[in-house]
Structure 1
Amino acid sequence: MHVAILAGGRGVRLRPYTTAFPKPLVPIGEEYAVLDIILQQLRVQGFTRITLAIGHLGSLIRAFVGDGSRWNLEVDYSEERRPLYTIGPVLNFLDRLPEHFIVMNGDVLTDLNYAELLQCHIDTRAPLTVATYQRNVKIDFGTLETDGGHIVRFQEKPTLNYRVSMGVYAMSRKTLAPYPRNVPFGFDDLVLDLLARGQKPRAFEFDGYWLDIGRPEDYDEANRSFEEYRSILLPPVRPVSQVGFAS
């Protein structure tokens, strides 16, 4: 029950909040860091080991999390010297991981059951399993399709429905083993390569609460709605982040 948490990004889209803090440590609800909430969830769901891929302001993450004992977790670290995108950091510590494991972004707020995702991945023997979420986007204009200068289809202010990646994945060592280390390699690179080789990733469809804290408006929404969703995001234990930074 091992999780790799990607916490090395610079959080450029979330500035100015990430000027002094790495994105996983931005406060939520004035009591918790995002990473604190994630670690509490993972421990309650039965995960025991965490590898944190750190980079930008990684020393603050090390100071906050320490060895993970405050969450009753075993935590180790892998540091990026240069950006390796989504999958690249994981390839550099693949030998520390079990055959099946979770990879996730360190800025995700969700009540997803990570253990169920991992079990689904194992049961289906998929090369990769991606947690997905339904997005509905209202278009404020009439849309046109044209062919040879003629309008062939018209919709008045349609709603687009599509599934997006939640930034949470179940993976297997045998899937990642062929790829080289120490080179930038993204989630998009992995998916496109698997599709080109006829190895279709599996979608784990989720319809609960999910918020990717990537932009200032998302972060503001997370804080506005935290009290409403506190009971589903937090297990019934004290907020360990109130203890402060590890020495």
Structure 2
Amino acid sequence: MSNKNNLICVQKTLLDVMNLINNSEFKIAFVIDEEKRLVGTVTDGDIRRSLLREKSLQVSIDKVMNKNPIYGCVSQSSTDYQKKLKEYSINYLPVIDIERKIQCIVGLNKTEEIQYPNKVVLMVGGLGSRLRPLTEHLPKSMLKIGNKPILQIIIENFKSYGFNNFVLCVNYKKEIIQSYFKNGAQFDVNIEYIEEDKRLGTAGALSLLQHDVKDPIFIMNGDLLTQVDFSKLLEYHLETGSIGTMCVREYEYQIPFGVIQTDEHKLISIQEKPLKKEYVNAGIYMLSPKAIKYIPYHEFYDMPELFNKLISMDMNTSVFPIHEYWMDIGQLADYEQANKDYESVNIND
């Protein structure tokens, strides 16, 4: 296999490499210098770490890339390439000549599509009060975007990345959800239910998981639409060795006044109506099995409380910045916008 479209010059920016990777099936960029020699690689994880560190899309690739890439040599055999791909758990390997110039890119031989064992827990028990009158007769997650319920779009999206095991935490008008999805067989997935007899928050229902959890689990609010590659989220969670990973997105707001800086009594500067950027909770999480043990049994408990507890215990928690499409369908205006976006941004692709 060879695809020179995945090569990018080291003088380019983070924004350039983001666009390349987002439009590539490889999900990796191979960085070359002016002499077209391999000098590094950039992965999805490299991009997200850079966004947290630099908070700029104009930073040079040189500050983002892995400067010690794994590669094969033209003198090696295809068997050698496959061994190296498996040894380093990577999907693509650049093959270079004696001058370090890339001759081709070799992919890992896959006999079948990857199917992950990780459970996906979707919180779909809310009242959807802010979406009334639409939610007087339907749970929020069953409102249609395009021609499908929100929840079906979410499930099919996870399935497209190899995740087939779902747990739906239901309460309000649960019969409608259970009647539509049943055990998931008609959607070629497995669906279990946690029936909340009282409000348990965004984390409390996890204490009711019937089986021992052996792999990291996804938790996501059932009113979100996003184009996030969930396999990359899992990869990031494992790579960082986190007990919990919270997805975050950048939120911009403008202060409607002039902001001043002082040094004791002295006025240093005035910034008129500055635009501020902060990372905020995006309602998507990954938890390692150990984290679930810290959730009180059958009590109201929200996910931020759990993360604060893990942080206070000095456990390794991380954030996964989302730069892809993301929409929280919390109000009527959001629902109308999501329907407008559905076709144009290919939410379900």
Per the alignment, residue 70 of structure 1 pairs with 186
Give, in whole Å, the separation in 2 of the partners of 1:105 and 1:12. 15
Query: Counterpart of 1:179 in structure 2: which amino acid?
Result: I
Give, in whole Å, the separation in 1 of the partners of 2:306 and 2:197. 21
Structure with bigger RCO (C-alpha 8 Å, 6+ apart): 1
* 1:14 aligns with one of 131, 135, 144: 131
Per the alignment, residue 56 of structure 1 pairs with 172
The verdict on how the C-alpha distance between 1:200 and 1:97 changes in structure 2, with shifts beyond 3 A counting, is: closer
Matched, 1:5 2:119: no
SS at match of 2:290: helix
Give, in whole Å, the separation in 2 of the partners of 1:226 and 1:45. 19
Matched, 1:164 2:280: yes
The verdict on how the C-alpha distance between 1:181 and 1:149 changes in structure 2, with shifts beyond 3 A counting, is: farther
Per the alignment, residue 47 of structure 1 pairs with 163
SS at match of 1:222: helix
Per the alignment, residue 236 of structure 2 pairs with 120
- The alignment's TM-score, normalised by the length of structure 2, stands at 0.62
SS at match of 1:119: helix
Query: Counterpart of 1:63 in structure 2: which amino acid?
Result: S
* 1:91 aligns with one of 196, 202, 207: 207
**Structure 2 alignment gaps of length 5 or more:** 1-117
CA drift of 1:78 comes to: 0.5
CA drift of 1:194 comes to: 1.4
Q: What is the aligned length? A: 232
CA drift of 1:180 comes to: 2.1
Contact conserved, 1:99 with 1:174, CA < 8 A, in 2? no
Per-residue CA shift, 1:33-76, capped at 9, x if unaligned?
11111111111111121010001111111011111112210101
Give, in whole Å, the separation in 1 of the partners of 2:280 and 2:209. 27
Query: Counterpart of 2:238 in structure 1: which amino acid?
Result: I
CA drift of 1:185 comes to: 0.7
Contact conserved, 1:50 with 1:73, CA < 8 A, in 2? yes
CA drift of 1:123 comes to: 2.5
Matched, 1:32 2:148: yes
Contact conserved, 1:94 with 1:173, CA < 8 A, in 2? no
**Structure 1 alignment gaps of length 5 or more:** 236-247
CA drift of 1:129 comes to: 0.6
Give, in whole Å, the separation in 2 of the partners of 1:198 and 1:39. 34
Give, in whole Å, the separation in 2 of the partners of 1:112 and 1:83. 28
Query: Counterpart of 1:27 in structure 2: which amino acid?
Result: K
CA drift of 1:188 comes to: 1.6
